[in-house]
Structure 1
């Protein structure tokens, strides 16, 4: 399987090769076809391949059912990847414009005239 190749393209290529070999009187059992298909999957499919190999009997697992399983997995995985991509894009968006207050020193205001307690109250008020 080629990197980032859709499973439908891979299945089509696989079927073309198998049909070509059948033209030369080469016969394959269901188990051989399923095993060859699982081995030809890329590393991105390792988790599904291992799951199928451990849960299903590869010799009796229908080849057509494997097709369906692979296509369903790709579809669900694409949905998950799309959601992940969207959430990453949302995180990259710059925050809304923030404003800051410019500090000025008026003649009528000086924190030296304030007690520490009054200054702390003012700081708490500004934080809110």
Structure 2
């Protein structure tokens, strides 16, 4: 597997190689294909590779199941890294300025002349 290569590209390349070898009457067991796939993963996949090798029976586990696990992990790690990049970008942005409302006094009115409903509305506006 190439560094930073999407897992789908690696699986496609691996499948093309295996199909080419099958054309030359080369036969592989499911365990051999699974082992070769796990060995071909880059160092970024070490933790998942060790987990699969220690928890699954390599000889009976379906190759499609392994591909599903690898693609799911690749998708999850891509989403996580995307969220990390967004949060770093947000941290770099300066804080946005907020606009404050100016208080003006209209002639002939004062806060003393406000009824309870107007005061409640003003309090609600201030809370927002």
TM over 0.5: yes
Listed as ranges, the gaps of 5+ residues in structure 2 are 98-128
Helix, strand or coil at the partner of 1:28: coil
Residue equivalent to 1:111: none
Cα offsets for 1:103-123 (capped at 9, x unmatched) = xxxxxxxxxxxxxxxxxxxxx
33-42 or 85-94, larger mean C-alpha shift: 85-94
Residue equivalent to 1:39: 39
Cα distance in 2 between the residues matched to 1:47 and 1:87:
26
Q: CA deviation at 1:95?
A: 4.3
Cα distance in 2 between the residues matched to 1:9 and 1:31:
21
Q: Across the two proteins, how many residue pairs are aligned to each other?
A: 97
Residue equivalent to 1:10: 10
Listed as ranges, the gaps of 5+ residues in structure 1 are 98-128
- Superposition TM-score, scaled by structure 1 size: 0.71
List aligned pairs for 1:1-128, cutoff 5 A: 1-95=1-95
Cα distance in 2 between the residues matched to 1:80 and 1:63:
26
Helix, strand or coil at the partner of 2:8: helix
- Superposition TM-score, scaled by structure 2 size: 0.71
Cα distance in 1 between the residues matched to 2:83 and 2:36:
32
Superposition CA RMSD, Å: 1.2
Helix, strand or coil at the partner of 1:9: helix
